[in-house]
Amino acid sequence: ESEVWTLLRLFFFNILLLHTCSASPPNFVLLFADDLGFGDLGCYGHPSSLTPNLDRLAEDGLRFTDFYCTSPVCSPSRASLLTGRYQTRSGVYPGVLYPGSKGGLPLNETTIAEVLKPLGYATAAMGKWHLGVGANGTFLPTKQGFDHYLGIPYSHDMGPCHNLTCFPPDVKCFGNCDVGVVTVPLMHNEVIKQQPVNFLDLERAYSDFATDFITASAKKKQPFFLYYPSHHTHYPQYAGPGAAGRTLRGPFGDALLELDNTIGQLMITLEKTGVIGNTLVLFTSDNGPELMRMSRGGNAGPMRCGKGTTYEGGMREPAIAYWKGTIGPGVTHEMASTLDILPTIASLAGAKLPPVMLDGVDMTDILLNQGQSKREAMMFYPTDPNEMFGLFALRLGKYKAHFYTRGASHSGTIPDPDCSPIAALKAHDPPLLFDLEADPSEHYPLPSEGDPDLEAVLERIKKIKEQFESSMVFGESQISKGTDRDLEPCCNPTCSPKPSCCHC
Ligand SMILES: *[C@@H]1O[C@H](CO)[C@@H](O)[C@H](O)[C@H]1NC(C)=O
Ligand SMILES: *[C@@H]1O[C@H](CO)[C@@H](O)[C@H](O)[C@H]1NC(C)=O
Ligand SMILES: *[C@@H]1O[C@H](CO)[C@@H](O)[C@H](O)[C@H]1NC(C)=O
């Protein structure tokens, strides 16, 4: 009888083993909002935002309170997200890329999509790329490991918008956006489908694209990676009929609701295709709110200043990790970053890390076990990093030291004078030191001089800064390569006069 039991046990053990080994690697959905602040989502305390789908992901998943992007503006932040490296290494600085930029994220950088490709993943990106277009689409997502792409390859204000419709039935976009360049195109892979893009129909197009991609991958039992850097809630706000006029927060709230609706649609598709239990969904944002837009911009909650600054409001972001049946509900105060997403995805998929200097650390233990972060420190570079100034700030544990501070036009219009562009570059020696647990708003610098404990903290911060900076090799600036009008995407390349004739 005992032999029978042994055989049976062996049999079941083998089945279990077989099952474990043949379980397909997880799918990844990476959602990236634009200029969305720490205080903008309902689940982060905003009283009049309507974000039921994101709130549900936060409630059933893991919500981060101490999650950082790497730059207070778009392009550098995206470069770090996709490579797990500070933007200074890849050269995506200073500021952001333009429609006619000659540079882009260098093709020898390894993106998350390229990390997953060798394992047989299907990969797609939709939305705001903003890592370059270049001559003949040199830098488009399809050149960086993504099988499919649908989207506007840069910010949707980087083209004249005063004649475009942002809300139904025909409410024109607020402001002029960038004049003197081509109107913003909608690209499918490397081809322009629409110019200018139809904002009212854009989110539906993304939803359909995502549904098709997920459904096709699930049908083939192929693991997939979907990257959705949304245009929402960057200026100018827009929303189609499903969200326009439906919130108490005006154009910003409607745009945010539209993003939330798309995420809801995505979750339904994951559910319907039966892959929801094998899919990690991550959500965060590229940088802090653009406070200069006032009610049409985002909200940093209790964090100081916003976009363009290295205060918490510029770089601390809402972040949610959801994985049905695998990530338990909770809130984590562990320090984590967009840099950590590439190593985490690689670890969960069993993929090889790229053979380069990575700045990200694996945060699997935070996700799966609410464990501790392997991240010791977070570095804060300004919009225009250079080797002479180096880091503007460094966070170690609960302490953050500012070596330099500066306001930004993106964060103007609020009463705090340190946030506005009038606040010129200021060096701090000793550095301004804050305890972010007691004072997340960075209002009360700690008097470190004469306090041995705080002096020891500062010493340690300085040592980490020195070590980090001595290992930092600045990549050639891609953005300083400048622009060329002929590189602006035009649906009718031989037409004249440009840019107004680029209209199809
Ligand atoms: C990419 O190529 C440039 C130029 O040759 C080089 O400086 C850089 O280190 C390379 N980057 C990587 C990640 O290999
Ligand atoms: C783009 O490709 C076409 C055809 O291959 C070529 O004629 C053209 O010179 C290229 N343009 C640039 C800017 O490299
Ligand atoms: C905007 O529309 C008006 C009226 O149709 C037209 O006169 C003007 O040239 C348009 N401007 C641009 C930049 O397209």
Number of domains comprising the chain: 2
C-alpha of residue 136 to centroid of ligand 2, in Å:
6
Contact 320, 60 (CB under 8 A): no
Residue 241 CB-half CA count within 13 A: 3
> What's the CA gap between 265 and 365, in Å, rounded?
29
Of 322, 348, 376, the last residue of a domain is 376
Domain match, 334 and 400 both = no
Joined tokens for residue 89: 């290494």
Percent of the chain that is helix, strand, coil (3-state, to 5): 35, 20, 50
C-alpha of residue 137 to centroid of ligand 2, in Å:
10
pLDDT at 448: 87
Catalytic residues: 74, 130
Q: Kindly report the CA angle at 258 between 96 and 277, in degrees rounded to 5?
A: 95
C-alpha of residue 147 to centroid of ligand 2, in Å:
22
Instruction: Give a yes or no: residue 199 inside a domain.
Output: yes
User: Which residue owns the Cα nearest ligand 3 atom 8?
Assistant: 163
Atom of ligand 3 nearest to the CA of 179: 13
CATH code assigned at 100: 3.40.720.10
Domain match, 290 and 340 both = yes
253 touches ligand 3 (CB under 6 Å)? no
Atom of ligand 2 nearest to the CA of 136: 1
pLDDT at 18: 44
Please list the residues that pair with 319 across neighbouring strands: 64
Of 344, 376, 408, the last residue of a domain is 376
Atom of ligand 2 nearest to the CA of 135: 13
> What's the CA gap between 378 and 384, in Å, rounded?
17
Q: Which residues of 184-203 are buried (b: 16+ CB within 10 A; e: fewer)?
A: bbbbeebebebbbbebbebb
User: Which residue owns the Cα nearest ligand 3 atom 1?
Assistant: 163
Mind listing the pLDDT tens digit of every residue in the chain (504 residues)? 555 555 555 555 444 444 444 578 999 999 999 999 999 999 999 999 999 999 999 999 999 999 999 999 999 999 999 999 999 999 999 999 999 999 999 999 999 999 999 999 999 999 999 999 999 999 999 999 999 999 999 999 999 999 999 999 999 999 999 999 999 999 999 999 999 999 999 999 999 999 999 999 999 999 999 999 999 999 999 999 999 999 999 999 999 999 999 999 999 999 999 999 999 999 999 999 999 999 999 999 999 999 999 999 999 999 999 999 999 999 999 999 999 999 999 999 999 999 999 999 999 999 999 999 999 999 999 999 999 999 999 999 999 999 999 999 999 989 999 999 999 999 999 999 999 999 999 999 999 889 999 999 999 999 999 999 999 999 999 999 999 999 999 999 999 999 999 999
Instruction: Give a yes or no: residue 495 inside a domain.
Output: no
136 touches ligand 2 (CB under 6 Å)? yes
Domain match, 31 and 118 both = yes
Domain match, 420 and 372 both = no
493 touches ligand 2 (CB under 6 Å)? no
Residue span of the structural domain in which 408 resides: 393-476
Instruction: Give a yes or no: residue 13 inside a domain.
Output: no
pLDDT at 6: 54
Backbone angles phi, psi at 158, to 5 degrees: -90, 55
> What's the CA gap between 263 and 58, in Å, rounded?
13
135 touches ligand 2 (CB under 6 Å)? yes
C-alpha of residue 164 to centroid of ligand 3, in Å:
10
Instruction: Give a yes or no: residue 384 inside a domain.
Output: no
Rg (CA), the chain: 23
pLDDT at 11: 53
61 touches ligand 3 (CB under 6 Å)? no
Nearest in space to 289 (alpha carbons), one of 260, 319, 255, 317: 317
CATH code assigned at 459: 3.30.1120.10
Of 326, 341, 376, the last residue of a domain is 376
Nearest in space to 202 (alpha carbons), one of 245, 237, 248: 237
Atom of ligand 2 nearest to the CA of 486: 13
Domain match, 326 and 413 both = no
> What's the CA gap between 369 and 328, in Å, rounded?
8
